[in-house]
Amino acid sequence: MARIVGGLTTSHVPSIGGAIAKGETQSPYWKPFFDAFQPVHAWLDKVQPDVAIVIYNDHGLNFFLDKMPTFSIGVADRYENADEGWGIPVLPPFDGDAKFSWHLTESLVEDEFDMTMCQEMLVDHAFTLPLKLMYPNAGARWPVRAIPVTINSVQHPLPTAARCWKLGQALGKAIASYPNNAKVVVLGTGGLSHQLDGERAGFINKEFDLLCMDRIVNDPEALTRYSNRQIVELAGSQGVELMTWIAMRGAMGGQVNTIASHYHAPVSNTGGAVMLLEPVLVSASMAAE
């Protein structure tokens, strides 16, 4: 059966793509953020996941305000990136895994998550940049197959944190019932606290970010008790991207070990956080190898 070997969360600001393109990853501004990926690279080298399921929020590239699914999943064998207007390079296309995606979709719909199924899907910075951070040396071909899963974090009403947690749990069950041996890494991209416009533009809440990072590991269900209004108040209007982290953690379930955890602010307008978690059972089997 397919199994989750790790969970990765990271901020996804477009300027990451600019820093890479301009060769600025070791500048004083960017170094702390990019260096946080060194343990992630070592882990990827060792574990070699086959599939990355990327839980993120589309920002208007594939879906726009006229049609905004609450939850969607890509069911294609290939996903293209495109220019979103940020002035950053368009990244090479990603191989999907349509067969796995259809299995996940069937299981999720059976479990009452009525996913929008996308046989064509453009993937935006929230999908591409975390994969580029994981695989900075990837050329024209990425070393994992990638499956997009989106949570609406743009057009209110948004799904609740509790609902996103349950989506993650259903996704974890769907992965575990897929009859092949794929090693799966689940990503939650976005956050942490940020607000890009309005009176509180530039708002970052380090204290709340650090609390979220602790709870994601030790008591993730505590995060599901916040209402969306509370999350917006505490983390800013775009801080609701935290939902992707909550869904990732729901998919992992159980107890996790922290392989990497790093916080640095600001990264562009965000509290920039990177975490790599491993299911306790996977850690134990690695130690035995």
The residues that are catalytic are 125, 194
Q: Which is nearer to ligand DHB, 101 or 270 (CB)?
A: 270
Find the shortest distance in angstroms from Cβ 51 to ligand DHB. 24
Distance between CA atoms of residues 129 and 123, nearest Å = 10
Residue 256 burial (C-beta neighbours within 10 Å; 0-12, 13-18, 19+): buried
Q: Which helix (H) or strand (E) holds 7?
A: strand 3-10
Q: Which is nearer to ligand DHB, 2 or 149 (CB)?
A: 149
Q: What is the three-class DSSP state of 37?
A: coil
Q: 99 Cβ partners below 8 Å, 6+ apart? A: none
Q: Which is nearer to ligand DHB, 128 or 268 (CB)?
A: 268
Distance between CA atoms of residues 160 and 82, nearest Å = 29
Tokens 């996790």 belong to: 256
Tokens 């916080």 belong to: 263
Find the shortest distance in angstroms from Cβ 281 to ligand DHB. 32
Find the shortest distance in angstroms from Cβ 198 to ligand DHB. 14
Q: Which is nearer to ligand DHB, 107 or 270 (CB)?
A: 270
Distance between CA atoms of residues 40 and 105, nearest Å = 29
Summarize as ranges the residues that interact with ligand DHB (CB under 6 A). 12-15, 59, 190, 194, 196, 238, 241, 268-270
Find the shortest distance in angstroms from Cβ 191 to ligand DHB. 7
